[in-house]
Amino acid sequence: MYRPHSTLEQWRILQAVVDYGGYAHAAEALNKSQSSLNHAVAKLQTQLGVQLLEVKGRKAELTDEGKVLLRRSRQLTQQIEQLEQLAANMEQGWEHELLISREAIYPSNYLFDALSRFYPESRGTRVTVIDNIISGSTDAITNRKVDLAISGHVPPGHLGVPLAMIRMVLCCHPGHALTRESVVEPARLEQELQIVIRDTGPLAADPDKDIGWLRAKERWTVSLFRDAIDILRRGVGFCWIPEHEARPYLETGELVELKSTVYKHLIPINLIIPDEDNLGPAGKRFAELIRASSPMGGDIACVPSKPASQHPDDAAD
């Protein structure tokens, strides 16, 4: 087994000498004598057989070899610190990984704000975000596949904390035949091609369980709203799109919003903790930041469970 000739303490001393601009300031910062720092660096150079510092005038500067080795040593000491922090986190119950389910209609900027605020406190916790739709979110919650869920449906037996109300808008290309209707009736929509978003859960195989109003005789199914928007921009079909996704294209005139007598336009989005008893401190802290970063973050009242048939995406079917 290989035995290192140098120690982490020697590399930390070298880093301090460079960072503080000399032995005197480094000794003061480390609460050590200047002679002990001189000895540590001299011994390190001898052990390695490489000159790391050279004196120019009254100042010690890194050699070219010293610059390369110092840079690598910083990576090494950082990895050791992360390893020790990970061990401390495990002892305290701080999770090393969080799995988040996000309903695809929830605006990314709210979640990204929470992530950016969580990062300085994360202690190296890995965060994985999975986009789900309808039964995908429900399955993730009821089967406790994730630590936290941002969902448009609160399954029976769970509580939800309100985060946002998402408005869905009925969109098509400005040249589409539907734009000639002042108010689009269900019977008229049934005659046109509908673009729908694929359910990500166990019901995905059911052709009548994709997101949105589904009475159209013709439909195309895609996985992403941005794909649906790209199809609409080509003059094909109609689709229910989250307003924040559609807004840039409505403003440029690439898409138009249709008035319709069908569908509930507002979908409540909630934060749900599938297994609150076993959620650790990292998950609890991230849940706090998700609430704080949401439009309804000040309202922490819980939303009671509703029967599955009352999911806002199914209400008009």
Q: Tokens 């950016």 correspond to what residue?
A: 116
Q: Two tokens at 127?
A: 């965060």
Six token digits for residue 221:
């199914």
pLDDT at position 212: 55
Angstrom distance (rounded) from CA 198 to CA 206 = 10
pLDDT value, residue 176: 96
Give 90 or 135, the one with higher predicted confidence: 135
pLDDT at 54: 83
- Strand extents, DSSP E, 223-303: 238-242, 256-258, 266-272
What is the H or E stretch that residue 73 is in? helix 64-92
CATH code of the domain made up of 8-92: 1.10.10.10
Rounded CA-CA distance 147/116 in Å is 18
Mean pLDDT of the chain: 85
**Class for the domain spanning 166-265:** alpha beta
Is the pLDDT score of 206 beyond 90?
A: no
| Cα 113 to Cα 106: distance, rounded to the nearest angstrom | 13
Give the span between the Cα atoms of 310 and 315, in whole angstroms. 6
Domains of the chain, by residue range, sit at: 8-92, 97-164+267-310, 166-265
- Residue 106 backbone dihedrals phi, psi, to 5 degrees: -75, 130
* Torsion angle of the four alpha carbons 243, 224, 206, 211, in this order, in degrees rounded to the nearest 10: 0
Q: Is residue 164 predicted with pLDDT exceeding 90?
A: yes
Q: Kindly indicate the confidence band of residue 8, based on its pLDDT and cuts at 50, 70 and 90.
A: confident
As a whole number of Å, the CA-based R_g of the chain is 29
**133 vs 171 pLDDT, higher one:** 171
CATH for 97-164+267-310, options being 1.10.3720.10, 3.40.30.10, 3.40.190.10, 2.60.120.380? 3.40.190.10
pLDDT at 94: 81
Q: How far is CA 5 from the centre of its chain?
A: 43
Q: Is 119 exposed, middle or buried (0-12, 13-18, 19+ CB in 10 A)?
A: exposed
List, in order, residues 6 or more apart from 206 with CB less than 8 Å away.
199
Q: Whole-model pTM?
A: 0.65
The answer to whether 8-92 and 166-265 have equal CATH topology is: no
* pLDDT tens readout for residues 223-258: 999 999 999 999 999 999 999 999 999 999 999 999
Helix (H, G, I), strand (E, B) or coil at 217: coil
306 pLDDT higher than 60: no
Report d(CA 35, CA 44) in Å as an integer.
14
